[in-house]
Structure 1
């Protein structure tokens, strides 16, 4: 669906809420202004391009939230357009109207409608999937709007029926008894064969929503079981194309002849298997694909999809992936064909925030915790559009595949007030609250680069990130000193252990990169998710005095100002530049209370220590490079000997450093610089160990084993 944000049309002239307008625009006036919009749309190639490829989205404003209707149209009182009141949601009421104009396509579909009494008004339908007829309702169709919201449209006497929740509007069949007599046209076609042929024509013209509509009418117009079987088969295939996997599966199974098996039954099992594959339900998919293969063993498509499904099941069961092949695939499509390996983990009750994710077995540092294919992730890496794209995709999928409601609506919503009927089927469609969807998106989405491996390159534009939902990963709570680290390849989320984890231990991740100052980062958590972090680092730093915190802020600001917030590259800096930074770094180190920071990271020291590594590297002062690289590791919480000499094994830092370490790509960089310095001092064995430790850390950062030279590109 669309990927751009459209602001709601705010009223320029207002009448008191709850009143019937003294005057509305006439049908002729409405059609005249509407025609002007249609002509502008038709004559604007840029607009046509946008509508075809980047249709804007009216993203909800949560402060304006209102619930969707949860009643059937049969339970509501049908009222004329003349009774609509400004700013009211008309609970317990509905309207039935005919579309009296072609739609103007923008953030929604705007049409002129009229009721049985000849009253006319504007109708704006938002948040419909592009695959639905309701996303651009043809002229002459009859729709019902449940509990309609009526508001100003921005100019005098101009109003609009605004449908935000996709389940609040229903496309009525032409012979539906709820349609008033003056609006009745009767069926456009008479026989089931005529509807079938119309569906076939629409299919050939690639008008798939219309094809589904026509096949549905054909089914309603016939009582012949054999005819039904063929139409269900056709509709199943079209629903597969549209991504309506729930419906495709249901239609495929209905096309089976239970009384006398047909030679074509393989197609029903094949379509059901493909639909379940589309829903990532690989075990169920395999049941049908195996049956299809049994009935039609020579069919190459069935063979291919059977093998593909078997590969997904192996991934789910073993957690073994060809990550390099996945990375290559991500260059063509961000939607990677793979299964989710989740058996190392389970959802349980967390002492922190209700639910959490826990280790089902002992997991060693560096091992895969889980691999999860995105529940939903659009291919949209423009930061200005990625949120709207994810919102639109979530609404679309909940409309088209209601079975996803069980997964998506179970996620935390930040305290949004629910009716309890979201996701239930009313009038043949699932009840969808777009404000609830947006609340869930805000609290659970992740930002993801096309691949974390590419994102670690200094030259890579790190701001180009998509947003997605990974339902399993969403159950993980935050800790600044987390025991897992996430990475991405396309729409695949890879979680690895950053230290040894015991069975039954809660798993944590960093929601966002951790800020060095505790008050700054906890304000971020409070504003974004409504909590204060209780991890070992944050709990420890709360014991630090206000005066000490202020002193560290002052010293860090002085270092950043002196260094212009940059790190040295290849330039050789004069000693007179280095010495003041080194002095400030010592003062900053002394500003950390020993009793507070014993065994904890000291994040305000990371930047000055990294700066000094670069400065002394330029001078080829290997001893000082090693000293400050060790300090970087210690300041991230890893156990490293204080003295400059002595034997130690950097490969052991991940498994022997306690529970308050913070893993980032800066750890990898420090180990590489340390290896380079040891090499310069002729300590080849230590250099080798540092490189091995860096490679191991880089595997955690990127998700799989990679060449460290990527960090220099």
Structure 2
């Protein structure tokens, strides 16, 4: 959302931070003469560390505020082409292009939004050092990233005013070059006595194995890399080292690197059984299931009796399921629910019926490439990035819940969006082969720099990630069908969010032809009506029934105004006509009564029929009236009348129903899939059952099942066991408050 004065405390905080940013900008280019000494900085750092430990012991948890200031491009320079600079020469609010600085950590770090340490240069001058976009603590401890005595080279350093003085800030970790002890740029005074010199390949391999067994995969990778680059290794030893390192890379999700190590022997016929198996696992992690199957087939054919082949046969069953899901869109939904309780689920993306195309005036959009029926699966997409948070907080498994505040765009997003920035950054660093699907997403007017530096290495721009996340992240329940029930049972507000690159191409319309639901990190997209081939898929970015806030939300969050038929009709309607409509709607809302004369007069105030241009304000009034007569007076005649009119206001074309004598339920045209849709069909089913019109009730149940599939769950395997509980709870508590 964009911050406004109605967001009181957040708005005040935003304005304070913007004022500080303006004051900092005034000092651009200044070399500060009041920097704290090395000893003072270390003392302040240790005091902050103690305070954080006390807060943790006391169970205090703070919501994190991630503040995005002036964006700057990552360094694309080769460090060999840069000139050295010292801390004493650093200028405030400046990116020192063409320069590099050598730094050594002098304390153990603390973790806040960034990993923070105190560093010194070769002269002993010190500065605070904040490194952003790192793995969470439970994946990689801060002390493993910025350990005491770690030596690094920072390209084109950014020196800025901080809350406690001045400091170096690294938003782009690709600006950091991590230096090993024997690197020629490491000063002699900083070298350790127990370096690489004198260690054999076998010793380094043994140390790597020990690190692996203790779960320190990053250190194991370093040891294996040192052994491989020692120059004293035989080809046979090098293959073993590469296979060992491949396993470490698999453990930390670096599938590109694991595949490269498994492919160390170019001729696949000469590779070991472990290389085949680990390569297959890497390909699985990258979502290349067909190729993973090829590697497994080679493994079993060449090494049929090996332990790896036995494991490969088990893995084959999993790969076959993923290939089937990709091709057919057939999923084990109940199994998906079980997995969703534990985190990201192990299922493949299905997107066969859709493709991305250019849309005149909109950039790109998602289109059908064949005809689909109402309820058909358009896509079931696995998130590129997915994070969860809880009000109570589960730090071992959850991301922090807080605010992402961009001072230059004046936008504030509450939730877990900030966690996506570091999560995506690490994914792009770890597996650059998957970067395109994310980086190709819409990012507004932000102009990113080159994707590779002068050495050919990948560059990752964290500000580009923030822009993409800001426009394309979806807030979502852990599971759509259990959203309301799970909140009541847990007694807390839980939230999750994700980035689904394919779904991000879907453009907005108030008259959506697609609906989405969630099971864990899988987004399920279904057609809400019959859609011919080559038609654009749309959904509504905001509650379509909240006409007051819709255009404001679209403009503030995505920068456009809706021009769908509903919005066009509203924009062309004069104030007098709008006032008359509101008068009749007010009568409906206050009395919950309406004779045919009133509806006739109301209909005359609209030019296009509701089946072409839905009337959301009429829908809300009729829906509330139906609920009123069902729950207060149980007047079944009025319940039927208002429920039918609510559906018609949404654009449904319904024939064959006679309020007094019944008839045959025929839906000629589907309407807008609002969240209340299942409740409307359940009202009809319950009412007709109460009136003894069982054929009509059974027909309504079929439409209820379709609404459950499209709006509630995304699947209908659980309909029979769940709809009574899930929809009834939502139904009984679902009367909307008057706006």
- TM-score of the aligned structures, taking structure 1 as reference length: 0.87
Render the CA deviation track for 1:156-214: whole Å, top value 9, x for unaligned.
Answer: xx421111112121211222233345544477132233333332232232222122122
Render the CA deviation track for 1:362-408: whole Å, top value 9, x for unaligned.
Answer: 10111111111112212335564422222331122122222222111
| Equivalent of 1:711 in 727, 735, 738 | 727
Whole-angstrom CA distance in 2 between matches of 1:458 and 1:379: 14
Indicate conservation of the 8 Å contact 2:135/2:426, yes or no.
yes
SS of the residue 1:160 aligns to: strand
Aligned to 1:625: 639
Render the CA deviation track for 1:291-335: whole Å, top value 9, x for unaligned.
Answer: 22323435442212111011100111111112122223323x232
Whole-angstrom CA distance in 2 between matches of 1:621 and 1:645: 12
Whole-angstrom CA distance in 2 between matches of 1:311 and 1:176: 48
SS of the residue 1:251 aligns to: helix
Aligned to 1:293: 300
| Equivalent of 2:511 in 457, 481, 494 | 481
CA change 1:592–1:388 in 2 (3 A) is farther
Aligned to 1:320: 330
Equivalent positions of 1:682-701 (< 5 A) are: 682-701=692-711
SS of the residue 2:284 aligns to: helix
Q: Does residue 144 in structure 1 map to residue 153 in structure 2?
A: yes
Whole-angstrom CA distance in 1 between matches of 2:65 and 2:80: 29
Q: Give how far 1:639 is off.
A: 0.7
Q: Give how far 1:597 is off.
A: 4.5
Render the CA deviation track for 1:87-143: whole Å, top value 9, x for unaligned.
Answer: 111112111112222222322222222222232222111112346688631122210
CA change 1:11–1:444 in 2 (3 A) is closer
The runs of 5 or more residues in structure 1 that have no matched partner are: 563-578
Q: Does residue 246 in structure 1 map to residue 233 in structure 2?
A: no
Whole-angstrom CA distance in 2 between matches of 1:179 and 1:551: 79
Q: Does residue 237 in structure 1 map to residue 247 in structure 2?
A: yes
Whole-angstrom CA distance in 2 between matches of 1:259 and 1:628: 69
Q: Give how far 1:11 is off.
A: 8.6
Whole-angstrom CA distance in 2 between matches of 1:209 and 1:427: 24
Indicate conservation of the 8 Å contact 1:665/1:698, yes or no.
no
| Equivalent of 1:542 in 571, 574, 579 | 571
Equivalent positions of 1:586-665 (< 5 A) are: 586=598, 590=602, 593-599=605-611, 600-617=613-630, 618-641=632-655, 644=659, 649-650=664-665, 652-653=666-667, 656-657=668-669, 661-665=671-675
Indicate conservation of the 8 Å contact 1:57/1:392, yes or no.
no
| Equivalent of 1:308 in 318, 333, 353 | 318
Aligned to 1:362: 371
CA change 1:107–1:46 in 2 (3 A) is farther
Indicate conservation of the 8 Å contact 1:485/1:509, yes or no.
yes
SS of the residue 1:594 aligns to: coil
Q: Give how far 1:272 is off.
A: 1.2
Q: Give how far 1:261 is off.
A: 2.8
Q: Does residue 446 in structure 1 map to residue 457 in structure 2?
A: no
Whole-angstrom CA distance in 2 between matches of 1:260 and 1:317: 29
Q: Give how far 1:640 is off.
A: 2.2
Indicate conservation of the 8 Å contact 1:274/1:285, yes or no.
yes
Aligned residue-pair number = 673
Indicate conservation of the 8 Å contact 1:448/1:466, yes or no.
yes
Q: Give how far 1:522 is off.
A: 1.4
> Once structures 1 and 2 are overlaid, which stretch shifts more, 115-124 or 468-477?
115-124
> Once structures 1 and 2 are overlaid, which stretch shifts more, 672-681 or 489-498?
672-681
CA change 1:478–1:526 in 2 (3 A) is same
> Once structures 1 and 2 are overlaid, which stretch shifts more, 489-498 or 550-559?
550-559
CA change 1:223–1:477 in 2 (3 A) is farther
Aligned to 1:222: 231
Aligned to 2:394: none
CA change 1:687–1:580 in 2 (3 A) is closer
Indicate conservation of the 8 Å contact 2:543/2:550, yes or no.
no
> Once structures 1 and 2 are overlaid, which stretch shifts more, 182-191 or 226-235?
182-191
CA change 1:115–1:56 in 2 (3 A) is farther
Cα root mean square deviation, aligned: 3.2
| Equivalent of 2:33 in 22, 35, 59 | 22
| Equivalent of 1:279 in 286, 306, 311 | 286
Q: Does residue 93 in structure 1 map to residue 99 in structure 2?
A: yes
> Once structures 1 and 2 are overlaid, which stretch shifts more, 117-126 or 293-302?
293-302
> Once structures 1 and 2 are overlaid, which stretch shifts more, 542-551 or 602-611?
542-551
Q: Does residue 169 in structure 1 map to residue 176 in structure 2?
A: yes
SS of the residue 2:640 aligns to: helix
CA change 1:524–1:587 in 2 (3 A) is farther
Whole-angstrom CA distance in 1 between matches of 2:493 and 2:550: 20
Whole-angstrom CA distance in 1 between matches of 2:191 and 2:171: 27
> Once structures 1 and 2 are overlaid, which stretch shifts more, 459-468 or 668-677?
459-468
SS of the residue 2:381 aligns to: strand
> Once structures 1 and 2 are overlaid, which stretch shifts more, 636-645 or 386-395?
636-645
Indicate conservation of the 8 Å contact 1:551/1:591, yes or no.
no
| Equivalent of 1:80 in 83, 86, 96 | 86
Aligned to 2:410: none
Render the CA deviation track for 1:439-498: whole Å, top value 9, x for unaligned.
Answer: 101111112212122136597589633110111111111111111111111111111111
CA change 1:12–1:468 in 2 (3 A) is closer
Q: Does residue 344 in structure 1 map to residue 344 in structure 2?
A: no
Aligned to 2:521: 491
- TM-score of the aligned structures, taking structure 2 as reference length: 0.84
| Equivalent of 1:397 in 414, 427, 434 | 427
Whole-angstrom CA distance in 2 between matches of 1:128 and 1:176: 24
Aligned to 1:507: 537
Aligned to 1:34: 45
Whole-angstrom CA distance in 1 between matches of 2:454 and 2:322: 35
Whole-angstrom CA distance in 1 between matches of 2:365 and 2:435: 20
> Once structures 1 and 2 are overlaid, which stretch shifts more, 354-363 or 116-125?
116-125
CA change 1:112–1:558 in 2 (3 A) is farther
> Once structures 1 and 2 are overlaid, which stretch shifts more, 491-500 or 701-710?
701-710
CA change 1:676–1:36 in 2 (3 A) is closer
